[in-house]
Amino acid sequence: MWVYGDREEPVAVREALRRIAEEPDPAIAFVDAAGLAQGLADAAFAAAGADHVSAAQAGLAAWLRGHAARLAAAWDRRPLPTPPPPLETNCEAVSVREAEGFAFYAVYPQAYLEAARSVAWPTPPLVIGLRSIGFGLAAMVAEGAGATALLSVRPTGPPFQRRLAVSDAFAQRLRSHAGPFAVVDEGPGLSGSSFAAALDLLQGLGVGLERIVVFPSHAGDLGPEANPANRRRWAAVRSPSACFTSWAASKCWKPNRPLRKSSRSC
């Protein structure tokens, strides 16, 4: 019997950066960059005990967004933009979690790009990715929404009772944003508690639900472990599905190649 879990792999940062910079396929480069960004962000989280705002984190988000821009251009069949400048970091090695959505659930970053494009944003949103896989997916939403503000948070705690830990400066950054917010992850799963933790944080800072758009990987409801309050809130929040088959009729990743349909129902 196969049991899914948080599989982690130690990664040498300089070697990973070299490999990503030399990778000609923008999809492979993006997935590898998203994994490395997760590892670096989690290392900073472990050191500080909370997610925080800093020049290093802003640089990491901008680097990942640069790879998202290249994947978006390839998806649109446009000329690829210049690769992002080399990432500056003092970390020598980090732990990268396997992105189960990419590995097992047919989660396509390009579908998040299209889902973000489908929203009529009044102003560019502040985009929040839920690590691990949500950081990379959030970069695709930022690209699709024309957003420059990209943050990520690490849900922790029991699987059905996730919570977030952010610094005062991080909370102030959220509080000071007057426009819409996008919250991005795969799922929701059995409880939707990671999404719920992000919604709890935003609403606790005074953000109304009408200003929040969530980006899940399927159009289904929360799973059976969700509590009634979270289930009611999920039904009320805007949630354009990022399931790949929602966009398959008009797009194809490779010219003259049949579309690979998602193994998950939308």
Which are the contacts of 90, defined by CB distance < 8 A and separation ≥ 6?
A: none
pLDDT of the residue at 98:
75
pLDDT given for residue 4 in this prediction: 45
Measured torsion, CA atoms of residues 18, 76, 216, 108, in degrees rounded to the nearest 10? -60
State residue 242's pLDDT score. 75
pLDDT tens sequence for the chain (266 residues):
334 456 788 899 999 999 999 999 999 999 999 999 999 999 999 999 999 999 999 999 999 999 999 999 999 999 999 999 999 999 999 988 777 666 556 689 999 999 999 999 999 999 999 998 999 999 999 999 999 999 999 999 999 999 999 999 999 999 999 999 999 999 899 999 999 999 999 999 999 999 999 999 988 899 999 999 999 999 999 999 777 665 554 443 333 322 232 333 33
Note the pLDDT of residue 175.
Answer: 97
Mapped onto helix, strand or coil, the DSSP state of residue 186 is coil
Q: Which CATH architecture has domain 8-246?
A: 3-Layer(aba) Sandwich (3.40)
**Domain boundaries, given as residue ranges, for the chain:** 8-246
Q: What is the pLDDT of residue 6?
A: 61
User: Whose CA is closest to 116, among 182, 64, 30?
Assistant: 182
Residues recorded for the chain:
266
Structure confidence at residue 247 (pLDDT): 54
CA distance 217 to 215: 7
Buried b / exposed e over 80-102, threshold 16 CB at 10 Å, is eeebbeebebebeebebbbbbbb
